[in-house]
Amino acid sequence: MTDLTALSAIELLRGYRAGDFSPVEATRAVLERADEVQRRTNAFVRIDADEALAQADASAERWRRGEPAGLIDGVPSTVKDILLQRGHPTLRGSRAIGVDGAWDEDAPAVARMREHGAVFIGKTTTPEFGWKGVTDSPLSGVTGNPYDPARTAGGSSGGSAAAVAMGAGPLTLGTDGGGSVRIPGSFCGIFALKPTYGRVPIYPASAFGTLAHVGPMTRDAADAALLMDVISGADGRDWSQLGPVAGSFQDSLDAAGGGVRGLRVAYSPSFGGQVAVDPAVASAVRGVAERLGELGAFVEEADPPIADPVEAFHVLWFSGAARVVAHFSQEQRKLLDPGLQEIVAEGERYSALDYLAAVDVRMALGKAMGAFHERYDLLLTPTMPGTAFEAGVESPAGSGHRRWTGWTPFTYPFNMTQQPAATVPCGMDGAGLPIGAQLVGARHGDALVLRAAQALYEAGIAVGVPAPVV
């Protein structure tokens, strides 16, 4: 019998269409798997079995009539508990938020998924307000890695990554303010895309401002393109959203004949020696560069014009954290993650001039990357310099890094520039932990990033990442 939890969204939809199985069967299988995933990794803050089965039943009836509601009708899906979901509290990993409230709105991406018939299995774990690159919080505890629960799933969308990796639904929504879909995507061996800022509408606006993106986390690039066709729909609540998409992201996978032939790819293994990269990671990403060349791309080792902008990022990020809790009482603040309390205190010390100086750094970096992409269509880097480390800590032991930004140098610069960036699984290290390669495109180049990632999947680059054992 087919293991329905092992199928992609596209494969599930194909099965519904053919009558091979129903959304109810798929949802029951995913709910059973979600319970196992929760026991192993603590990926969920809530699993909604009754609601999911009711949605699946309605979807099955639509499929029986030959009238699916939309592009993902009946596909089991999850949502990071940063994003609003109608009818349920969104606690954002914090004990300082009360469960009482109307909870009567969907975030834009959630609303678009609901309109297209998604079956919502539950909500996934996040560090408090998504503030760091690992997933643990005072509210929901520690989320472990599917390949080794004693190690971190990454963050801040760690619960979403673990859920997809282990078969608890092929589609999930994450948020990314400094790497938060790409870090756990890399650590958990799945695909994740941070779209161009504004391509997926956001509401409420993030306190972290225009650093924060919403994006798909999926089994592969084809599923991500499908989900992008759903969540890129307009929403008037977001004043910063981009205009309508020209065409379909799914169709873009085959644009210009598909593949990467003729694309100009800059391969930067270490940002010009600025980043110490684990040898296993370096070898795997070098293999991706070589494979892109074999597929017809023009690959050149070249480094982007990035002098580590971490201090400017900290001003923006820590100020955002201070804004998150600005209305909290002293009693509420005492409930916060101690690390979050530290960066809030730092953020409160910055002046408006400090913030504007950081914006200047951001604008200069954006200009430099714009010029870089006049020469190169894509940039290839490691997603992470290493693989998953001990769960429950902000930084790897012995790394010398106090804050999570110290070990994520390849991710947060592209939040500052608002560029699309994806992680593609490309192998395993000696401990059996996944490795990710990052593809970065010019602003508005989401379709090209997806097309190149799809070419890598079709070429078998992700074959070296076996499914974790549940």
How far apart CA 410 and CA 374 sit, in angstroms, is 20
How far apart CA 378 and CA 299 sit, in angstroms, is 10
Q: Are strands 298-301 and 264-267 parallel, antiparallel or unpaired?
A: parallel
Q: Which among 3, 1, 12 has a CA at the least distance from the CA of 170? A: 12
> Tokens 């472990």 label which residue?
144
For 335, counting Cβ atoms within 10 Å of its Cβ (0-12 exposed, 13-18 middle, 19+ buried), the class is: middle
Question: Which entry of 94, 137, 140, 156 is annotated as an active-site residue?
Answer: 156
Question: Which entry of 22, 59, 94, 180 is annotated as an active-site residue?
Answer: 180
Verify whether residue 334 is a known catalytic residue. no
How far apart CA 437 and CA 425 sit, in angstroms, is 6
Measuring CA to CA, how many Å separate 299 from each of 252, 338, 447? 22, 45, 19
Q: Are strands 421-428 and 434-441 parallel, antiparallel or unpaired?
A: antiparallel
**Rg of the chain on CA atoms, in Å:** 21
Q: Contacts by 249-254 with C-beta closer than 8 Å and gap 24+?
A: 249/225, 249/446, 249/447, 249/450, 250/222, 250/225, 250/226, 252/225, 252/447, 252/448, 252/450, 252/451, 253/221, 253/222, 253/225, 253/450, 253/451, 253/454
Contact 192, 427 (CB under 8 A): no
Question: Which entry of 22, 59, 77, 80 is annotated as an active-site residue?
Answer: 80
User: Which residues make beta-bridge pairs with 136?
Assistant: 142
Verify whether residue 156 is a known catalytic residue. yes
Verify whether residue 157 is a known catalytic residue. no
Please state at what angle helix 310-324 crosses helix 352-375, rounded to 10 degrees.
130
**266: helix, coil or strand?**
strand
CA 271 to chain centre: 22
**What number of helices (H) and strands (E) belong to the chain?**
15, 15
Phi, psi of 58 (to 5 degrees): -65, -40
Contacts (Cβ under 8 Å, ≥6 apart) of 14:
none
Q: Are strands 213-218 and 298-301 parallel, antiparallel or unpaired?
A: unpaired
Enter the tokens of residue 103.
């909870």
Q: Are strands 141-142 and 264-267 parallel, antiparallel or unpaired?
A: unpaired
Beta-carbon neighbour count of residue 350 at 10 Å?
17
- Enumerate the active-site residues: 80, 156, 180
